C-alpha cells in the first residue's frame, strides 16, 4: 500500500497544511507498511515540488505541471487524481477549502465514500472524525478499496519540512474539463501569520462593538507575533471579513495560545478553537460560557484591558 | 451531453434544492450511552441551516425572474416531509421525497439526487455546503462529479448570466470568483443570504403544495453505507482554569506558568 498526499500550494510555496496531511499519511503508512508520495498539481509549480521533495518521510513527488491546474479548479484536477489513484491505497488532502472542494469530487468519480476531516488514525481503514461541531467523535471504518480522506491539520503535528530528498517524477496532465474558469481572487493581505498555522491567536467577538476597534487587538497581536481571528458574531456584524472566522463554519485552529476577547463562547466558536493548548478569555460578563473552558479568565472591560495588556507586553519586551 | 440550459431560455429555468432534516442547531447533542450514535429521540429536528440558505437563494432567483420553478428534495425517513413542508412554506413550488429508513451517506445521497435530477432536468442545483450533523461537506461536490457538471462550493455570491453562473466563493485566504457553465451545482456558505421566515399564510398554502414520494429502489440506487460507524463517543472535556485579577497577573501566568509567551 502507498499513500498519496495532495499538496496545498500557490504555485510558489508549499502550504504548511500539507505537512500535517503528510503526518497523517505517515501514520497510515506505518499502520500498513507503505510509502508516502506527494502530488503537486499546478502551473509552473516546480519550486513547490522541490520543497515537497525535502519533506521528511516522503518517498516520491509527482509533479503535474499544466496551465489548466493553475487555480486548482476541481473540475480539472479531479480527473488527474482519479487516474493516479489506481496506484494507491489512500489519497489524502488537508481539510482546507481547497481540499474540501476537490476531494469529494474525486471520491465520487472513484465510487468511494470520502472520510472527511479525520482527527486520528486508528488503522489503515479506521479513522476518528469529529461530528456535530466536535460535540461527538465518530470512529468509522471504510469498506472501500481506495480511501479518500481529508485531514484536520490541527490534529496532526506537522512532518518536518526538511531532511528528505525524494525524487521528482513528472506525470502527464489530463485534458481540461472545460466546465469552469477562474475569474479573480480577493485575498486578504496581512503581515501577520496565517490563522491555521499561527502559534498565537487573538480573536475578537461581538464585544468589540465595531471593526474600528480591531486595531486594539492588532496592537497586542503584533507584540505577540499573533494572528488575528474573530467569532462568527463579529463576522456577521460586519466588523471583519469572513476569512477571520474561527469556528465550526470558519477555520479550525489549535495554537499554543488562544486569546478570546469579547467572545461569549457559543458552541460553534468553541468547535473551532477548543483544542488550543492554552486558552485565555477576556470578557466583562463573568457568566460567559467561554470561562468554562478557559485556562485563564480575566473579567473586565476589553476597552480597558487591551490597552493595559499592550502596555504590559511592551514593558516586558524592553 | 445532457444540457438542458441550451434547451430552455431565460425565465424557464428550474432550480432544485436539497434539504436535510437534522437535529436543530440550538440543541446540545448528547452521545448515547451505548456509543452507537447521538440521542435523537424527543429531540427537535429542523432543516439544516445551510440548506435554508439554499432555498432562500433559489427563491430569490425565481423572484428575479431567472428561475421559473423551485423544487425541494429531501431524502430519508417519512418525517423528512416536514422539512420539505418548511421549504414549501418559505416559497418553494413543490417537493420530492426519496423515502427510506436506511442510513444515507453522502455518496448515496448524491446518487439518489442524480437520479431525481435526471427526471427533473434543473439547470441549477443549490444545496448547503455541509450538514451540521455529520459535518461531511461532500454531497454537492459528489453530485457535480456524478453528473459531469461544474461545481461552485462555499458560495457567498451567485449571479446567473445566460448559460453561465459567476460565483464568489469563501476560501481560506479570502474570496475567489469562478465562472461555471450551467447546468451546475452550487453549495452555500453563510453569507450568501439571510433566509426568510415562513409567514402563517404561506405555511397554510404550503399544505396544499404537492410532494411526490419515491424510493431508492424505484430510482435504481443502492444506498448501502460504505462507512461503518464503529462507535460514537464524547470528546475529552476541557476543564476550566482560574480567574486572574489583573493584566499583570495574566501576563505573569502566561510567561512563567504556561510558558506560552
Q: Which of A109, A139, A295 is closest, CB to CB, to B230?
A: A139
pLDDT score at A32:
80
Q: Which residues of B touch A116 (CB under 8 A)?
A: 135-138
Q: Is the confidence metric ipTM above 0.90 for this complex? A: yes
Q: Which of A103, A278, A308 is closest, CB to CB, to B247?
A: A308
Q: Which of A116, A117, A186 is closest, CB to CB, to B175?
A: A186
Q: Is the pLDDT of residue A61 over 70?
A: yes
pLDDT score at B11:
59
Confidence of residue B9 (pLDDT cuts 50, 70, 90): very low
Percentage with pLDDT > 90 across chain B: 90
pLDDT score at A31:
84
The Cα–Cα gap between B108 and A174 comes to 27
Interface A:B, Cβ pairs < 8 A: 247
CA distance A139 to chain B (A): 5
Confidence of residue A317 (pLDDT cuts 50, 70, 90): confident
Q: Which residues of B touch A261 (CB under 8 A)?
A: none
Residue B240, Ramachandran bin (φ over 0: left; ψ between -120 and 50: alpha; else beta): beta
Check CB contact of B200 with chain A, cutoff 8 Å: no
Helix (H) or strand (E) holding A316: helix A302-317
* B residues 44-103 lying closer than 8 A (beta carbon) to A: none
Q: Which of A135, A257, A274 is closest, CB to CB, to B254?
A: A257
Q: Which residues of B touch A316 (CB under 8 A)?
A: 251, 255
- Are A278 and A268 contacting, i.e. CB atoms less than 8 angstroms apart? no
Q: Is the pLDDT of residue A229 over 60?
A: yes
Give the residue-averaged pLDDT of B236-261.
Answer: 93
β-sheet bridge partners, residue A31? none
CA distance A32 to chain B (A): 19
**Digit-coded pLDDT (tens) for B41-90:** 999 999 999 999 999 999 999 999 999 999 999 999 999 999 999 999 99
Contact A113 B106 (CB under 8 A): yes
Mean pLDDT, chain B, whole residue set: 94
Cell numbers that stand for B257 in this block: 506558568
Of A133-142, B133-142, B233-242, which range is least confident?
A: B233-242
Q: Is the pLDDT of residue B3 over 80?
A: no
**Beta-carbon neighbour count of residue A210 at 10 Å?**
10
Q: List, in order, residues 6 or more apart from B141 with CB less than 8 Å away.
A: A74, A101, A102, A103, A104, A105, A108, B151, B153, B185, B187
**Digit-coded pLDDT (tens) for A123-133:** 999 999 999 99
The Cα–Cα gap between A91 and A145 comes to 11
pLDDT score at A268:
87
Helix (H) or strand (E) holding A165: none
The Cα–Cα gap between A151 and A246 comes to 17
Omega before A200 cis (within 30°)? no
* A residues 28-87 lying closer than 8 A (beta carbon) to B: 71, 73-75, 78
pLDDT score at B6:
45
Q: Which residues of A touch B133 (CB under 8 A)?
A: 131-132
CA distance B260 to chain A (A): 6
**Digit-coded pLDDT (tens) for A166-211:** 999 999 999 999 999 999 999 888 889 989 889 999 999 999 999 9
Amino acid at each position: 500500500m502507498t499513500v498519496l498526499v495532495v499538496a496545498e500550494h500557490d504555485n510558489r510555496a508549499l502550504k504548511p497544511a500539507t505537512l500535517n496531511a503528510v503526518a497523517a499519511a505517515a501514520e497510515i503508512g506505518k499502520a500498513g507498511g507503505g510509502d508516502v508520495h506527494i502530488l503537486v498539481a499546478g502551473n509552473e509549480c516546480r519550486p513547490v515540488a522541490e520543497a515537497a521533495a525535502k519533506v521528511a518521510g516522503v518517498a516520491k513527488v509527482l509533479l503535474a505541471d499544466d496551465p489548466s491546474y493553475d487555480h486548482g479548479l476541481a473540475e480539472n484536477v479531479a480527473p488527474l487524481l482519479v487516474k493516479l489513484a489506481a496506484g494507491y491505497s489512500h489519497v489524502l488532502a488537508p481539510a482546507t477549502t481547497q481540499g474540501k472542494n476537490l476531494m469529494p469530487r474525486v471520491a465520487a468519480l472513484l465510487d468511494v465514500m470520502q472520510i472527511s476531516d479525520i482527527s486520528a488514525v486508528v488503522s489503515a481503514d479506521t479513522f476518528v472524525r469529529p461530528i456535530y461541531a466536535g460535540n461527538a467523535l465518530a470512529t468509522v471504518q471504510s469498506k472501500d478499496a481506495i480511501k479518500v480522506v481529508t485531514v484536520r491539520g490541527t490534529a496532526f503535528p506537522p512532518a518536518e519540512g526538511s531532511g528528505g530528498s525524494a525524487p521528482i517524477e513528472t506525470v502527464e496532465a489530463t485534458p481540461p474539463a472545460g466546465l469552469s474558469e477562474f475569474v479573480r481572487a480577493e485575498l486578504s493581505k496581512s503581515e501577520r501569520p496565517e490563522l491555521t498555522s499561527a502559534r498565537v491567536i487573538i480573536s475578537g467577538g461581538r464585544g468589540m462593538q465595531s471593526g474600528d476597534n480591531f486595531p486594539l487587538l492588532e496592537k497586542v497581536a503584533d507584540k505577540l507575533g499573533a494572528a488575528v481571528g474573530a467569532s462568527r458574531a463579529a463576522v456577521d456584524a460586519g466588523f471583519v471579513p469572513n476569512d477571520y472566522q474561527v469556528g465550526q463554519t470558519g477555520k479550525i485552529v489549535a495554537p499554543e495560545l488562544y486569546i478570546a476577547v469579547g467572545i461569549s463562547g457559543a458552541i460553534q466558536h468553541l468547535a473551532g478553537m477548543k483544542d488550543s493548548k492554552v486558552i485565555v478569555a477576556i470578557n466583562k460578563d463573568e457568566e460567559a460560557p467561554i470561562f468554562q473552558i478557559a485556562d485563564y479568565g480575566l473579567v473586565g472591560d476589553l476597552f480597558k484591558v487591551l490597552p493595559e495588556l499592550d502596555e504590559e507586553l511592551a514593558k516586558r519586551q524592553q | 451531453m445532457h444540457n438542458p440550459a441550451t434547451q430552455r431560455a431565460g425565465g424557464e429555468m428550474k432550480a432544485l434544492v436539497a434539504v436535510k432534516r437534522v437535529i436543530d442547531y440550538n440543541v446540545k447533542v448528547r452521545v448515547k450511552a451505548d456509543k452507537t450514535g447521538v440521542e435523537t429521540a424527543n429531540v427537535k429536528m429542523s432543516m439544516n441551516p445551510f440548506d435554508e440558505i439554499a432555498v432562500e437563494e433559489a427563491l430569490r432567483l425565481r423572484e428575479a425572474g431567472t428561475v421559473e420553478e423551485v423544487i425541494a428534495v429531501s431524502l430519508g425517513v417519512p418525517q423528512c416531509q416536514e422539512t420539505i413542508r418548511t421549504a414549501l412554506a418559505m416559497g418553494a413550488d413543490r417537493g420530492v421525497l426519496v423515502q427510506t429508513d436506511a442510513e444515507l451517506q453522502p455518496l448515496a445521497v448524491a446518487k439518489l439526487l442524480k437520479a431525481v435530477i435526471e427526471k427533473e432536468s434543473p439547470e441549477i442545483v443549490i444545496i448547503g455546503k455541509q450538514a451540521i450533523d455529520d459535518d461531511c461537506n461532500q454531497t454537492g461536490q459528489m453530485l457535480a462529479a456524478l453528473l459531469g457538471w461544474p461545481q461552485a462550493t462555499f458560495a457567498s455570491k451567485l449571479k446567473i448570466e445566460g448559460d453561465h453562473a459567476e460565483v464568489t466563493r469563501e476560501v481560506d485566504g479570502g474570496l475567489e470568483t469562478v465562472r461555471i457553465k450551467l447546468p451546475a451545482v452550487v453549495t452555500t456558505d453563510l453569507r450568501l443570504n439571510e433566509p426568510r421566515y415562513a409567514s402563517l399564510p404561506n405555511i397554510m398554502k404550503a399544505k396544499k403544495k404537492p410532494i411526490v414520494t419515491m424510493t431508492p429502489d424505484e430510482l435504481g440506487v443502492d444506498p448501502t453505507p460504505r462507512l461503518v460507524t464503529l462507535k460514537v463517543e464524547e470528546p475529552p472535556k476541557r476543564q476550566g482554569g482560574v480567574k486572574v485579577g489583573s493584566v499583570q497577573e495574566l501576563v505573569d501566568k502566561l510567561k512563567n506558568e504556561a510558558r506560552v509567551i
